[in-house]
Amino acid sequence: MSENTRLSRDLSGDSYTERTSFKAFRQSGQYFGAEEAYGGPITDANRLFYSTREPVGVWWVKGIAYDIWDNGFKIVNKADPDDEKLNDKVQKVLQTLEYRSNLPRETVYERRYGTAILLLSYTGFGDEIEWKTPLFELDDEGKPPKTLNSTQKLLQITPYPWTEVMVSELDTNPSSLRFGLPMLYKVDTGSGGGDGTNPSGQESEKIIEVHWTRVILDAPRLDEHTYLGVAAIDVIFDDLVGGRNARWAAYQDYYRHGGGFPVIKTNATAEQNKAWVEAGGLDDYLHRFGYFLCGIDEDFKFVGAEGKTLNPNTYFDMYFTFIAAGTGVAKDTIKGVSAGRVTGSEVNERQYYKSISLQQNQKTPFLRKLIDRIIQTGQVEFDGEYMIEWIDPFSVNPQDKAAIEYMEERTNALKTYMTVNERRALEKLPPIDGPQGEMLMLQPGQNPFTSGAPNQQSPASPETEPEETGKSESTLLDTALNM
């Protein structure tokens, strides 16, 4: 196999020229048959279009990608899980690599195309980076070295979609632990590295050939191929096409016939009517696709749906049902609405984050490779075992926890006092008119100096008898309730 043979999926038909002439793109959402849309082969142009133009496709590719990384993760030292030093050091290096923007972006690419790469730039090679030079060699067990040359530091990580990558050489040694996997990649760094939202792409090209040790390949959904993953959007692609066509048809129906179908009667002959229509007729006055013209002695009845439009909800419900089946996310969550009650909303939310948790587990090997590279370079000194712990979206972070505790204290303090009418309402008594009803009174068993905690008042000294210079709280309460 020649050096430049493309070993990945064939992208030769994925140029901008052919993409712009693609009928389903030119005639937005219209279905033309199995060869070009529903049930047919999915091109990368399809994947790009539906993940940037179809709302559910945008959510499933981009929204999920950012939710995966939104809550973050912790690096836990297995030898001492309570030690935060390792996590702090790794997070500090990741911050310099701008992982908060680069890793979600890379995840968008792999969810859209099934495969993406993270290009790793190191220091220590002078002005010209030798991309083809191996960064390290694997040992007899197929493991990379624990440390690299002290001058080699991970400087930058850059995500690239698979549409900007070619595999130029495979490992063809049957005895190699990497047999069948890429050895060298060709990466278009001129037009790559964008967010993929502009189908026109860029004209500039700068191809570099990169050794696999300078790349992290990300293909979490492997199936029948050795290193190319299945795009996340593929499982719901046919339903995205069907839903887009159903929505397009509904829009067209409302535009064409939503207000009825005009029928115009004239006293002219058929030939005169024809000439009038060909001259423009009422085209400048009727903002719809057409009307029917008949003579005075002719009649026309628009049967169709007898003046009633079909209810599109049946079709859209089918659309969301199959999308939910393919994604494992509740229909209400996909629609962006709550379940209508607190319990239902919580169940839907937990189901959604269970889906996110599964996606995070798929990303863990990819993240481990990046952290291993940071440890290899000595940017983080660590010689032990670690694990990645994704932060539970339902857990409360320390800042929010402090805010909740403060609000609870405030609420308890407010409960220390009640107005006379509030107290009377609890006892199901009528309110008192005037300022007396709005007077604040301390509730029995409450002490304003103990944050509203009941029964925390200091007991009276047994040697000291209480002074009887005023009424007791119970007497005041009895008075207020008996007014």
Is pLDDT larger for residue 353 or for residue 214?
214
Q: What are phi and psi of 123, to 5 degrees?
A: -90, 175
Give residue 294's Cα distance to chain centre: 55
Is pLDDT larger for residue 382 or for residue 124?
382
The pLDDT assigned to 158 comes to: 94
- The lowest-confidence range among 40-49, 54-63, 114-123 is 40-49
CA distance 181 to 212: 9
The pLDDT assigned to 466 comes to: 46
Residue 91 banded pLDDT, cuts 50, 70, 90 = very high
CA distance 200 to 198: 5
The pLDDT assigned to 135 comes to: 86
* Region 409-434 average pLDDT: 77
Is pLDDT larger for residue 450 or for residue 430?
430
pLDDT, tens digit, 9 for 90 and up, residues 388-418: 999 876 665 566 666 767 777 766 665 566 7
Residue 32 banded pLDDT, cuts 50, 70, 90 = very low
Work out the percent of the chain whose per-residue pLDDT is above 90.
Answer: 31
Is a pLDDT exceeding 60 seen at residue 125? no
* Region 430-455 average pLDDT: 65
The pLDDT assigned to 341 comes to: 42
- The lowest-confidence range among 62-66, 103-107, 140-144, 440-444 is 440-444
The pLDDT assigned to 315 comes to: 73
* Region 155-171 average pLDDT: 94
Question: Is the dihedral angle over the CA atoms 169, 172, 173, 178 positive or is it negative?
Answer: positive
Is a pLDDT exceeding 70 seen at residue 36? no
Residue 439 banded pLDDT, cuts 50, 70, 90 = confident
Q: For residue 8, give both structure tokens.
A: 């990945």
CA distance 234 to 114: 9
Which residue type occupies 417?
Y
The pLDDT assigned to 354 comes to: 84
Rg (CA), the chain: 34
pTM of the predicted structure, to 2 decimals: 0.67
* Region 80-95 average pLDDT: 94
* Region 209-221 average pLDDT: 94
Residue 259 banded pLDDT, cuts 50, 70, 90 = low
Residue 421 banded pLDDT, cuts 50, 70, 90 = confident
Q: For residue 379, give both structure tokens.
A: 């940017």
Most confidently modeled of 12-26, 102-116, 270-284, 326-340?
102-116
Mean of per-residue pLDDT scores for the chain: 75
Q: What are phi and psi of 418, to 5 degrees?
A: -140, 150
The pLDDT assigned to 251 comes to: 77
Is a pLDDT exceeding 70 seen at residue 372? yes
The pLDDT assigned to 227 comes to: 94
Residue 11 banded pLDDT, cuts 50, 70, 90 = very low
Which residue type occupies 73?
F
pLDDT, tens digit, 9 for 90 and up, residues 262-283: 777 778 788 887 888 788 777 6
The pLDDT assigned to 443 comes to: 60
Is a pLDDT exceeding 70 seen at residue 351? yes
130 closest CA partner among 176, 184, 194, 166: 184
